[in-house]
Chains A and B, each alone.
Chain A
């Protein structure tokens, strides 16, 4: 490398030595962000802040962030090397997504120098957790149809409305919020992005309990929340440009160059017991029906990996359509749904009712089955992915929409009542 940047190999050796000397082995609450109760979660959050501070003090925070905002100004290859060296070690998992990416990534791309100076070092030191406030109760897939409003008042904006499905907003510090600032233009042209502290008068944060009993997601209610214009991100009514990049970084998730995360990390909770261990527990290892299901499960696992590689290679070689990731999204959603069903079928009744000791082995299989549609809903539904594939990959005509070229004020938002 020219320009005096440390070589990746040298950086790797330095990172390896520092990690070995300073970081312990990976902890259960690094692999899964779900904690048994709020008290343990608060401890995990405090520990993640301290751990991020330790990485900052050690000179390894913000590997791809610019030096003027506290980063190291190195390349994705350096980040990758650090992530490889980090394998098997503890790390501040709660900063990865959404704080580093998409939130910090969006701040870097659209923030003013003052905004970046105020937040990027604070994030890298472990002082600020960020969340993304995008979805609304009235619109899941139609992000640009946001109705949370921001009205100008002198040097401030007044925000009213509600955002939903915000992960872990109850203990986070700041949020990015997509709001409507102009109702007299078509929907994409009247949006603006703001940064705001989550814990302030006028913001009520409710926890959403999922059917599994888990409560990480939140809904925020804004009542006359005052935001200074200096916390606006990007131009007034230019929010869709910001939002598009925001959603790009959301899609690439942990693969963003801004994310520090050990490679090869698997989430035992998300993956659950293997089809084989479920069959053994059910005494069905020699049952031909169970074996057929185990074979189908393995087939889908291998196909999922193969497709992911194919789409990544297509993107890298420039041969792939940029919307090819929608094919991966659709396939993964459908395959996960099928695999959750297969596991429930192999387990039989013991996944429906179990003892406390069997919570992980049996209960989780049943719960994964009940929650299986999440893999076709979260992060953009499979229905939207099908639209993207049909229209942008296969070139089929777009769906008729009721909001194209229409001032957002006039867009129907419910049935017409007589």
Chain B
């Protein structure tokens, strides 16, 4: 998280932090382990009132940021989500809201309005992604008169079973295509999955000749490549900041443990072998803060390096965030792998965040392609 915040940003962060402390303490999350949704509906609508889903949407479209840099503001919320291991589809709802902002169409505006007031949830079905090569796409979208016909499958989809609408990205023959699909469409199967996470829910979504009217297109048929890239950048900003929050929480509790836990008559914190490990973790943590903030700022400012910085944040934090929390487990010893201890909430968080909306490898592929593209252009 940034060292220096504007006072409005600090208030936004602090309000969410206090709300999460109150509504979803870890004791509550333990109890909701088997709850199908993982949170109560009013939790999400109250959160929407705090601005959770409106920061990437401009004021003309009924959203609004606090600083004029929505991605930076949202990264503060995401950081608190990570620090609290909070439930709720923060990534997907924001990504879909930003994708729909400024689009015409009834379905588009209905979904956007529902996302902004928290009354509905929408999920991303990324069946074609910028890092994929030809033949790797898992969803196709075809035109048939005034209809679109969607086939294929995507998994895992966050809050797939809680969503009312899906933003589906698929290969449209001439190029990437996006459309909104209601979850009651015929031919659509949504199957809840088991998951590593105890606070968030995932589903497998299958499309078998699902038909929606062509007016459900988001953007032009075959022309959604840039829009999808922006969505991947937005997801990266949220996921990176969220992971940093989880890393901060895990590191802080491990640092406390190092001072409190004595062995062979000395605190763990007095052993140089462990001090050096903590120093390494601290350097990963600071670098993760730095690159997550750099990504949020670059995306907020639509910098030419926005996508590269966002992917670098995912590639770095995807690797070192998980390593950091795993090392926190190691430094705790046996207690670190118990359900009773709090550490696992953060381990689950970084482990999931590292593989959603592009893995470390996927984002490295994107970075390499960007570099090769820059060389060719030069």
Contacts and interface: CB of A to CB of B under 8 A. Distances in A.
Interface in A390-418: 390-391, 393-394, 396-397, 399
A385 B279 contact: yes
B368 A294 contact: yes
A307 B287 contact: yes
Contact of A307 (B286, B311, B366, B369): B286
Contacts of A396: 258-259, 269-270, 275, 278
Contact of A299 (B259, B280, B364): B364
Contacts of B279: 330, 385-387, 389-390, 394
Which residue of B269, B361, B369, B371 has the most chain A CB atoms within 10 A of its CB atom? B371
B4 A319 contact: yes
Interface in A258-312: 274-277, 285, 288, 290-292, 294-296, 298-300, 302-307, 309-311
Nearest to A308: B290
Contact of B3 (A288, A290, A310, A394): A310
A291 B364 CA distance: 7
B294 A292 contact: no
A53 to B, nearest CB: 39
A298 B276 contact: no
A195 B269 CA distance: 42
A393 B282 contact: yes
A404 to B, nearest CB: 16
B367 interface: yes
B291 A295 contact: no
A2 interface: no
A383 B279 CA distance: 10
A311 B286 contact: yes
Contacts of A385: 279
Contact of A302 (B270, B276, B309, B375): B309
A82 B146 CA distance: 65
A138 interface: no
Nearest to B361: A292
Contact of A303 (B3, B287, B375): B287
Give the most central of B272, B289, B311: most A CB within 10 Å: B272
Contact of A298 (B283, B289, B371): B371
A324 to B, nearest CB: 8
A299 B367 contact: yes
Nearest to A314: B3
Contacts of B4: 313, 317, 319
Interface string A313-337: 1100101100010010011001000
A71 to B, nearest CB: 34
A300 B308 CA distance: 12
B3 A292 contact: no
B163 interface: no
A320 B290 CA distance: 13
A302 B291 contact: yes
B370 to A, nearest CB: 8
Interface in B241-293: 255, 258-259, 267, 269-270, 272, 275-276, 278-280, 282-283, 286-287, 289-291, 293
Contacts of B207: none
A276 B363 CA distance: 16
A386 B276 CA distance: 5
Interface in B1-48: 3-4
Interface string B341-372: 00000000000000000000101111111111
Most chain A C-beta atoms within 10 Å of own C-beta, residue among B280, B286, B294, B365 = B286
Nearest to A296: B364
Contacts of B294: 302, 305-306, 309
Interface string B284-312: 00110111011000000000000011011
B365 A276 contact: no
B269 to A, nearest CB: 4
Interface string A228-240: 0000000000000
Interface string A344-369: 00000000000000000000000000
Contact of A295 (B255, B364, B375): B364
Contacts of B81: none
A399 B276 CA distance: 11
A226 B272 CA distance: 43
B312 A331 contact: no
A309 B308 CA distance: 17
Contacts of B267: 397
Contact of B371 (A294, A393, A394): A294
Contacts of A319: 3-4
Contact of A276 (B255, B289, B361, B375): B375
Identify which of B276, B367, B368, B371 gathers the most chain A CB atoms within 10 Å of its CB.
Answer: B368
A390 B255 CA distance: 10
A313 B290 CA distance: 11
A309 B4 CA distance: 13
B316 interface: yes
Contacts of A296: 315, 364
A390 B312 contact: no
A331 B283 CA distance: 6
A387 B279 CA distance: 8
B105 to A, nearest CB: 37
Nearest to A399: B272
Contacts of A274: 371
B280 A295 contact: no
Contacts of A300: 316
A272 B286 CA distance: 27
Interface string B311-354: 11001100000000000000000000000000000000000000
Contacts of B367: 294-295, 298-299
B280 A320 contact: no
A319 B10 CA distance: 15
A68 B223 CA distance: 68
A124 to B, nearest CB: 38
Given A310-B286, A319-B4, A327-B282, A303 B371 contact: no
Interface string A109-130: 0000000000000000000000
B293 A306 contact: yes
Given A276-B372, A303-B290, A310-B286, A295 B278 contact: no
B255 to A, nearest CB: 6
Closest 4 CB pairs of A and B: A295-B364, A390-B275, A386-B279, A310-B290
8 contacts: A292-B368, A295-B366, A295-B368, A298-B368, A299-B316, A307-B290, A313-B3, A327-B286
Interface of B: 3-4, 255, 258-259, 267, 269-270, 272, 275-276, 278-280, 282-283, 286-287, 289-291, 293-294, 308-309, 311-312, 315-316, 361, 363-372, 375
